[in-house]
C-alpha cells in the first residue's frame, strides 16, 4: 500500500506540475472570472430588464375616471407590496372592442380590462386570465374602496433569533452549497475524461504500466487533478471572498449552518473532494477506454447529462430530511456528497459525515478498481476472470 | 544493489500462454535467463517477442503458465530492480531531458534529487550535456531514445529488459549501445533484449532464445546454436573427376566450380588423404563454422529468416 501511494505521488507530482506550470493554467484560473466581470459590467442593464420589462402589461379600457381610480389603486398597493408584485397598467382606447384590439399586429398588452371597477371584464387568453385575474380583482377592489381603504400600520417586534428563519436560512445555505459543489465538480471533473489520452498517444503508458501498478496511475492522476482543482478553488474562493467583503451590506449577517461555519466549510471541502474523486474515478475509467481526443469529446455530453441527473436527485431531497428519497440520496454514492452537505447545513450531528465520507471512499476505491480492471482488459489486453482480477493485489 | 544475493535465474517463464482473441501470440513458452548474463530473444516481427517480454514483466498477465522476475512471482514487486525500454518509445514531450530521466527513475523508487543528479551526469558523459535542459520535443529521435535508455538504467537495476533497443539507431549509436550493454553486464546486471537483427545477438549474447510463431524453437548459448549445424567445407580442385570423388560425402553439391558439403563426422583427415592419393590437386580448402544466421535458418525455418531480413531492410530504409 505504501509503495502504491509512493508511486501514485510520483505520477501526481508530474501531472500537477505539468498542468500548473503551463501557460494555459492562467486562462484556467481566469476563465470563471470572465462571466462575473461581464455580469457586473452589464449588471445595470440586467436590473432594468428584470424589474420593468418582464412584468405583464394589462390594458385598461374604462372611462377616464375609472382608469384613473385603477391607476391610483395600483400606486397605493405597489407602495406596500413592491412594484414587482403587480402587473403594469396601460390605458387603451375604449373602442374598438378589446377582442379586436388584442388581435391587432401591434398589440402590446397581455389582457384588457374593460367595464368598471365594480364589474371588471377581462379579455385575453385563458391562461393569461387565470394568471392575472387575482391581481385585477385586488386592484379593482382597492379602486372601488378608494378613500375608505385604510392601509393598516404593522407594529414591528424584533427578536434576536428566529428558529423558523434560521431553518429557512439553513435550507438556503444547503442548496447554495450543493450548487457550488456541483458546478465546481462539473467544471473540473470533466477534464479527467481526457487524462489518459496523453499517455496513450505518446506511448508512455507502457513505461508506467511496467513500473507501477495501474491502480497507482489512476490514483496519481486523480490526486493531481484534485490538487489542481484546489489551486483553482483557492484562487476563485479568495477572489469571491474579497468581492463579498467589498460589497457586504453592514449589519446583515449570514445564517449559521447547523454544524457551524468552520465545520461546514471543512465538510464542504471534503464533500467537494469526494464528489470530485467519485465522478473523477468514473470519468478516468471511461476516458481510459477512449483511444483518441475525439472519442473523449463524444463521451463528454452523456457524462454531463449523468451529472445533471445526480444533482437533480440530490437537490430534490434537500428539504425532505429523513425522507426515503433523502436517505436514498445519502446512500447512493454519486449523490451522497451533495445530499450530505445539505444535511450539514440543517442537522448538527457530525458522526453521519464521518460514516458518509468512509462510505464514499470505499466507492472511490471500488470504482478505481473497476476502471483499472477495464483498462487492463481492453487497453492492455490483459486479465482473467472478473472477480479474481477485482480482488487481486495491485502488484499482480 | 548489485551486491544483493541473486537467484540463479533473473527471469523465468514456464508454459506461458497469451491469446488475443483467436490469435495465440505466446504459445507455451519456457524460458530461463541466468542472472548476470546477456540474453537475446531472436525472432522476426510478430513472432511473439514483445508479448513474451510484457508477460514476463507483469504488464499483462498470461492466460496460462507461471513467471518469476528476480525470483518473485509478482513481477511488479520487483519494479525497483528492473529497467525496461519498450519497443514503442514514449516520453512526455514537454518534459526536460534530465527531468524525464529522473521521472523514470522515480517511478521505480529512485529519489528525484538523486535521479536528477545522475541524469545530468549521464547526459554530460554521453555528450548530451547541452540538451539536458531542453524539452523532449526539441530533441532528435535518436537523442530522445538515448534519454529513454538512461531513464531505463538511472536507478541502477539488477535486470534490464530492452525490447528492440537497436531499432531506430544509426550505426554509431548502435555501437555505443552495445558498449553500454557490455558495461552493465560487467557490473553483474542481467540484460535481456529482443532483436530481429542476428548480428547484435551474435556479438553480445551469451545465450539466445529463437522465437517463431509464439514458440521458443531454440534456447541455449550462441555456440550451441551454431553447433547444431556441421561446419561447412568448400573445396576447389584442379581435377574435376577421379577415384577421389568417392571419398566426398553423398550430399556434396557442385556449385560455382567448387564442392560444398558438411564436414564429415570422422573429420577432414580421411578425405584429405584420399584427395592427395587420388591427385585431385587441392586448389583451395576452407572449413567454416556456421554463423548464427545459418543456425537460425535451420532452427526457425527459411520463411522466418527471410522475414527477419525483410524487417531489417524495412527498418534501415525507415
Instruction: Tell me the domain boundaries of chain A.
Output: 56-147, 165-390
Please state, in angstroms and as integers, the Cα–Cα distance from residue A359 to each residue in A163, A336, A352, following that order.
32, 9, 10
Residue of B nearest to A6 (CA): B109
User: With a CB-CB cutoff of 8 Å, which residues 5-34 of chain B face chain A?
Assistant: 20
- A54 CB contacts (<8 Å, ≥6 apart)? none
Q: To the nearest 10°, the Cα dihedral for A92, A93, A99, A104?
A: -80
Closest CA to B308 of B39, B49, B31, B25: B49
Q: How far apart are CA B221 and CA A308, in angstroms?
A: 65
Interface pTM, i.e. ipTM: 0.80
DSSP 8-state class, residue A291: -
Asked if the C-beta of B66 comes within 8 angstroms of chain A's C-beta atoms, the answer is no
Please state, in angstroms and as integers, the Cα–Cα distance from residue A153 to each residue in A73, A74, A86, A156, B22, following that order.
18, 19, 21, 10, 89
Q: Where are the alpha helices (DSSP H) in B166-228?
A: 171-186, 198-204, 222-227
DSSP A143-186: HHHGGG-PPPPPPP---S--HHHHHHHHHHHHHHHHHHHHHHHH
A33 sits in which H/E element? helix A33-41
Is the pLDDT at B295 greater than 90? The verdict is no
Written as nine digits, the cell of A119 is: 364589474
Judge contact between A110 and A56, C-beta under 8 A.
yes
Q: Is B72 exposed, middle or buried (0-12, 13-18, 19+ CB in 10 A)?
A: middle
Q: Which sign, positive or negative, has the C-alpha torsion A18, A23, A24, A28? A: positive
How crowded is residue B43: how many other Cβ atoms within 10 Å of its Cβ? 30
- What pLDDT score does B2 carry? 47
Do strands B258-262 and B232-237 pair parallel, antiparallel, or not at all (unpaired)? antiparallel
Q: Do B90 and A207 touch (CB under 8 A)?
A: yes
Q: Do B94 and A210 touch (CB under 8 A)?
A: no
Q: How far apart are CA B220 and CA B209, in angstroms?
A: 7
Closest in A10, A210, A381 to B20, CB measured: A381
Residue of B nearest to A379 (CA): B60
- A396 CB contacts (<8 Å, ≥6 apart)? A213, B58, B61, B74, B75, B76, B77
Closest CA to B204 of B183, B224, B188, B225: B183
Judge contact between A87 and A79, C-beta under 8 A.
no
Domain A56-147 classification at class level: alpha beta
For B75-98, what is each residue's pLDDT tens digit?
Answer: 989 999 999 999 888 899 989 999
Asked if the C-beta of B74 comes within 8 angstroms of chain A's C-beta atoms, the answer is yes
Asked if the C-beta of A153 comes within 8 angstroms of chain B's C-beta atoms, the answer is no
Q: How far apart are CA B305 and CA B298, in angstroms?
A: 9
Q: Do A22 and B103 touch (CB under 8 A)?
A: no
Judge contact between A77 and A138, C-beta under 8 A.
yes
Judge contact between A333 and A359, C-beta under 8 A.
yes
Written as nine digits, the cell of A122 is: 377581462
Judge contact between A162 and B51, C-beta under 8 A.
no
Judge contact between B263 and B194, C-beta under 8 A.
no
List the beta bridge partners of residue B96: B135
CA distance B168 to chain A (A): 16
How crowded is residue B233: how many other Cβ atoms within 10 Å of its Cβ? 21
Q: Quick one: angle between helices A351-374 and A324-331, nearest 10?
A: 50
List the single best residue of B48, B55, B61, B112 to mutate versus A (max A Cβ within 10 A). B61
Is the pLDDT at B171 greater than 90? The verdict is no
Residue of A nearest to B137 (CA): A202
Written as nine digits, the cell of B215 is: 514458440
Asked if the C-beta of A20 comes within 8 angstroms of chain B's C-beta atoms, the answer is no
* All domains of chain B in start order, with CATH: 9-226 (3.40.50.300), 230-288 (no CATH)
Asked if the C-beta of B241 comes within 8 angstroms of chain A's C-beta atoms, the answer is no
Q: Do A395 and B108 touch (CB under 8 A)?
A: no
Q: How far apart are CA A326 and CA B293, in angstroms?
A: 74
List the single best residue of A7, A196, A210 to mutate versus B (max B Cβ within 10 A). A210
CA distance B221 to chain A (A): 28
Q: How far apart are CA B38 and CA B40, in angstroms?
A: 7
Cis? peptide before A96, omega within 30° of 0 = yes
Closest CA to B95 of A287, A234, A207, A294: A207
Q: How far apart are CA B109 and CA B79, in angstroms?
A: 8
- What pLDDT score does A373 carry? 87
DSSP A362-394: HHHHHHHHHHHHHIIIIIS-----HHHHHTS-T
* A193 vs B15: which has the higher pLDDT: B15
- What pLDDT score does A133 carry? 92
- What pLDDT score does B1 carry? 45
CA distance A226 to chain B (A): 20
Q: Which residue positions in chain A have pLDDT lower than 70?
A: 39-53, 251-252, 382-396
Average pLDDT, integer, range B258-273: 90
Q: Report the SS3 class of residue B240.
A: coil
Amino acid at each position: 500500500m505504501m509503495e502504491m501511494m509512493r508511486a501514485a505521488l510520483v505520477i501526481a507530482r508530474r501531472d500537477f506540475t505539468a498542468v500548473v506550470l503551463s501557460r494555459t493554467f492562467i486562462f484556467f484560473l481566469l476563465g470563471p472570472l470572465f462571466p462575473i466581470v461581464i455580469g457586473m459590467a452589464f449588471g445595470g442593464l440586467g436590473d432594468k430588464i428584470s424589474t420593468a420589462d418582464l412584468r405583464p402589461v394589462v390594458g385598461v379600457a374604462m372611462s377616464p375616471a375609472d382608469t384613473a381610480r385603477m391607476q391610483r389603486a395600483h400606486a397605493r398597493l405597489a407602495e406596500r407590496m413592491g412594484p414587482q408584485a403587480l402587473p403594469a397598467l396601460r390605458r387603451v382606447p375604449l373602442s374598438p372592442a378589446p377582442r379586436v384590439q388584442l388581435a391587432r399586429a401591434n398589440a402590446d398588452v397581455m389582457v384588457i380590462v374593460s367595464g368598471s371597477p365594480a364589474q371588471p371584464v377581462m379579455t385575453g387568453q385563458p391562461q393569461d386570465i387565470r394568471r392575472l385575474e387575482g391581481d385585477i380583482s385586488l386592484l379593482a377592489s382597492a379602486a372601488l374602496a378608494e378613500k375608505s381603504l385604510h392601509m393598516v400600520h404593522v407594529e414591528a417586534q424584533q427578536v434576536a433569533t428566529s428558529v423558523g428563519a434560521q431553518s429557512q436560512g439553513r435550507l438556503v445555505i444547503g442548496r447554495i452549497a450543493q450548487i457550488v459543489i456541483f458546478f465546481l465538480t462539473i467544471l473540473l471533473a470533466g477534464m479527467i475524461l481526457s487524462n489518459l489520452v496523453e499517455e496513450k498517444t505518446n506511448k508512455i503508458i507502457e513505461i508506467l504500466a511496467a513500473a507501477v501498478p495501474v491502480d497507482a496511475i489512476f490514483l496519481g492522476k486523480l490526486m493531481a487533478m484534485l490538487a489542481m482543482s484546489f489551486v483553482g478553488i483557492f484562487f476563485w474562493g479568495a477572489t469571491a471572498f474579497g468581492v463579498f467583503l467589498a460589497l457586504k451590506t453592514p449589519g446583515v449577517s449570514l445564517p449559521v449552518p447547523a454544524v457551524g461555519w468552520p465545520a461546514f466549510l471543512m465538510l464542504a471541502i471534503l464533500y467537494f473532494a469526494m464528489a470530485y474523486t467519485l465522478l473523477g474515478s468514473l470519468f478516468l475509467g471511461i476516458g481510459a477506454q477512449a483511444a483518441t481526443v475525439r472519442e473523449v469529446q463524444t463521451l463528454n455530453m452523456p457524462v454531463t447529462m449523468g451529472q445533471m441527473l445526480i444533482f437533480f436527485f440530490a437537490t430534490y431531497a434537500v428539504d425532505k430530511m429523513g425522507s426515503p428519497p433523502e436517505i436514498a440520496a445519502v446512500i447512493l454514492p454519486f449523490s451522497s456528497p451533495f445530499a450530505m452537505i445539505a444535511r450539514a447545513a440543517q442537522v448538527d450531528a457530525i458522526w453521519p459525515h464521518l460514516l458518509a465520507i468512509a462510505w464514499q471512499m470505499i466507492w472511490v476505491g471500488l470504482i478505481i478498481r473497476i476502471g483499472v480492471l477495464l483498462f487492463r482488459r481492453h487497453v492492455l489486453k490483459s486479465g482473467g476472470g472478473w472477480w479474481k482480477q477485482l480482488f487481486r493485489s495491485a502488484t499482480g | 544493489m548489485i551486491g544483493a544475493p541473486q537467484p540463479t535465474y533473473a527471469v523465468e517463464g514456464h508454459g506461458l500462454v497469451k491469446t488475443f482473441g483467436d490469435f495465440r501470440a505466446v504459445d507455451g513458452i519456457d524460458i530461463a535467463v541466468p542472472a548476470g548474463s546477456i540474453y537475446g530473444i531472436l525472432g522476426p516481427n510478430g513472432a511473439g517477442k514483445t508479448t513474451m517480454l510484457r508477460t514476463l514483466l507483469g504488464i499483462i498477465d498470461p492466460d496460462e503458465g507461471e513467471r518469476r522476475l528476480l525470483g518473485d512471482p509478482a513481477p511488479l514487486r520487483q519494479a525497483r530492480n528492473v529497467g525496461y525500454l519498450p519497443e514503442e518509445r514514449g516520453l512526455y514531450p514537454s518534459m526536460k531531458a534530465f527531468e524525464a530521466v529522473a521521472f523514470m527513475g522515480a517511478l521505480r523508487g529512485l529519489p528525484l534529487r538523486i535521479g536528477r543528479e545522475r541524469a545530468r551526469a549521464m547526459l554530460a558523459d554521453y555528450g548530451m550535456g547541452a540538451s539536458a535542459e531542453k524539452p523532449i520535443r526539441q530533441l532528435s529521435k535518436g537523442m530522445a531514445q538515448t534519454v529513454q535508455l538512461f531513464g531505463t538504467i538511472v536507478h541502477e537495476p539488477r535486470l534490464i529488459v530492452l525490447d528492440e533497443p537497436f531499432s531506430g539507431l544509426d550505426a554509431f549509436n548502435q555501437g555505443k549501445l552495445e558498449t553500454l550493454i557490455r558495461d552493465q553486464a560487467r557490473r553483474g546486471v542481467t540484460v535481456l533484449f529482443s532483436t530481429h537483427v542476428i548480428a547484435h545477438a551474435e556479438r553480445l549474447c551469451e545465450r539466445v532464445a529463437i522465437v517463431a510463431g509464439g514458440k521458443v524453437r531454440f534456447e541455449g548459448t550462441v555456440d550451441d546454436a551454431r553447433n547444431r549445424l556441421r561446419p561447412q567445407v568448400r573445396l576447389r580442385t584442379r581435377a574435376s573427376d577421379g577415384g577421389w570423388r568417392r571419398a566426398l560425402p553423398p550430399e556434396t553439391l557442385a556449385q560455382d566450380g567448387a564442392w560444398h558439403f558438411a564436414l564429415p563426422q570422422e573429420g577432414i583427415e580421411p578425405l584429405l588423404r584420399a584427395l592427395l592419393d587420388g591427385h585431385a590437386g587441392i586448389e583451395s580448402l576452407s572449413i567454416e563454422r556456421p554463423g548464427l544466421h545459418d543456425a537460425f535458418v535451420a532452427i526457425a525455418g527459411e520463411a522466418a529468416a527471410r522475414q527477419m531480413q525483410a524487417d531489417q531492410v524495412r527498418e534501415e530504409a525507415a
